[in-house]
Structure formats: C-alpha cells, structure tokens
Amino acid sequence: MRHVIVPEDLSAAEIEAIFAVSRDLQEKFAAGRRDALLPGRVLALVFEKPSLRTRVSFEAAMTHLGGSSLFLGEDSGFASSRESIADFGRVLGGYVDAIVCRSKSHDTIRRLAEVAGVPVINGLSDLAHPCQALADVYTLRQEIGRIQGLSLAFVGDGNNVARSLAVVCGLLGMRFVLAAPEGYQFDTGFRKHLAAILPDAEIEETTDAAAAVTGAAAVYTDVWASMGQERERAERQRAFAAYQVNEALMARCPDAVFMHCLPARRGEEVTDGVIDGPRSIVLAQAAARMHLQKGLLAWLLGHAE
C-alpha cells in the first residue's frame, strides 16, 4: 500500500514514471482521447479547506479515466467530534479505492492513511502540497523541455508549497532557492530533514530576493498568508512587503518564467503585470494538475502501463 503524503514518499524514478504516464495521457487528451484506465474505481475527496483546482482536477481526472469521485466536505463530520478519524477512515476505505485528503493538520492525513486500507494522497496540508509541486515541475519540463540543473527561485513564505517544491526540485536535480524574510524561511527541523533525505541537493535560503532570482529559470510565489493564517495577514503584509514579484524583480531574470500555484492575491505577492504577462505559466500549471494527477492515480492504483 503506497500513500503520497509528502513528495519524498516517491523516488526520483517513480516521479519520472508518473510523469511519463501523465504526458502520455495529456497527449491523448489533447487529441480527444480519454483512456479508461480506472473503470469502476472510486476516489473520495475529503476536504476540510476550500479548493477549486485540487478538487475539480481530481474529479475530472477520475471521470476521464472511467472511474468516479465523491466529494466529502465539512458536513461529512471528518476530523470532528462526530466520530474518530480511525472509524471514519476504516469505513470510508471500505467503499472507495483511494482517498485525497485536504486537512488543516498534516497529522490528520497521516492518521487517515494509517487506517484507511487504501492509498491516501495529500491534497494540501499545513506542511505539504505534493500534487502541486509534482505538477509544477512537470509543467516546467513541458514548457522548457528540460529541468536538470535549472534553478527555481521561490520568493515568499517558506510554506507548504515551498517545502514540497524544494523536495521535488531536489529529487529531480533542480536547484531551489527560497527568498524569504527571517522568521518565514524553513524551520530547523525541515532543514535537517532535507539534509538527511537529499544530501546532495542544491537547496538554499536567502533574505535577498534579487539575488535569488538572478539566473533563475523560474520565479515562483504564493500567498503570504495561507489558508488558516488569515489572522496574521496584516503582519505578513508588512513582513513580505519587499518580496513582491513585480516587473522590477522579473527584469533581473529576463529568461525566467513566472509561476504561482493560485489562488493569487493580486497586488500583494504578485502584480497584475507579471501574473498576466507573457512569461506567466500559471494557467499551464493549473491545467497540469489534472494531467499529473491522472498519472499519479493510474500509477498508485497499479493501472499504469
């Protein structure tokens, strides 16, 4: 039984295998073909936080693959006083073939995976967003043609998306640089974890956004206050004021594409001119979520060729 709770649950070779299936399915989709690799299979989406991309891309993916999905929002009683996570997970795992869970707590997803008896995929937690990072590096490969040795500069909060990108970049031979103010970089525990699992990876941190983007193939940003951090918004706006990805910053790396996982707070972490500009690949990233997750589902459920 395999789960994808953090991207490092996958090896580099496994990610490449998933990318290959995703690419094949994406090409067929573009040609109007939909391979029913998962007929009759059911995917449950258990979400404690809002979502557009993750929810819809997984639901569409399952339909295209000949299976189906069901969305369980807050009224399912998940992770509440209604019943234990163990009872919820054991019951749900008896009905469905796989579960995507978006939770307020990373530990909740881990506990669900321990009991469900079916593969569990993290659809975003406070600590990780593996499907996003996998789809992002897949997108870069599609857009640029290669990724090995290229540099991705993440300008903003060292959050769930940044952590997962650091790992996927490290696994696949990309340099990752986080530019964030003191107090918003990776914590010591995660740094130690990165050093242990990816001792040879080029993963760096700086407070200097201009230095970080110099020579980058991609400049990435995300909201300064993630879901669940709304009360810190004003404080974070002050802390990140010098970390906006704007035309002046992008002028320092004329060959770089611009990336954002979306949703974006336009005028805060990114200007309209950058996110809507010719170097922005944010819509390709969003589209790739569905293709990447098809590959992931087919691989995880053992139906990839």
Binding site for ligand NVA (CB under 6 A): 124, 159-161, 222-223, 226-227, 261
Which residue among the candidates 289, 291, 293, 303 is catalytic per the annotation?
A: 289
Across the beta sheet with 257-260, the strand order is 203-206, 175-179, 151-155, 218-221, 257-260
Contacts of 118 (CB under 8 A, 6+ apart): 1, 93, 96, 97, 98, 99
Tell the smallest beta-carbon distance from residue 43 to ligand NVA (Å).
19
Tell the smallest beta-carbon distance from residue 235 to ligand NVA (Å).
16
Tell the smallest beta-carbon distance from residue 132 to ligand NVA (Å).
6
291 part of the active site: no
**Where along the sequence are the contacts to ligand CP (CB under 6 A)?**
51-54, 124, 132, 261-263
Which residue among the candidates 157, 222, 236, 244 is catalytic per the annotation?
A: 222
Contacts of 52 (CB under 8 A, 6+ apart): 263
Q: Which is nearer to ligand NVA, 37 or 51 (CB)?
A: 51
222 part of the active site: yes
Q: Which is nearer to ligand CP, 79 or 292 (CB)?
A: 292
229 part of the active site: no
**What is the spatial distance between Cα 269 and Cα 271, in angstroms, rounded to a whole number?**
7
Residue 213 is encoded by which pair of tokens? 């983007």
Q: Which is nearer to ligand NVA, 161 or 180 (CB)?
A: 161
DSSP state of 222: -
142 part of the active site: no
Q: Which is nearer to ligand NVA, 62 or 128 (CB)?
A: 128
261 part of the active site: yes
Phi then psi for residue 99, to 5 deg, are -130, 135
- Is residue 119 reached through a cis peptide bond, with omega within 30 degrees of 0 on the bond before it? no
Residue 82 is encoded by which pair of tokens? 């209604």
DSSP H helices in the chain: 12-30, 53-64, 85-93, 106-116, 130-144, 160-172, 188-197, 209-213, 233-239, 247-250, 272-275, 282-300
Tell the smallest beta-carbon distance from residue 66 to ligand NVA (Å).
28
Residue 52's binding partner among ligand NVA, ligand CP, none (Cβ under 5 to 8 angstroms by kind) is: ligand CP
Residue 39's binding partner among ligand CP, ligand NVA, none (Cβ under 5 to 8 angstroms by kind) is: none
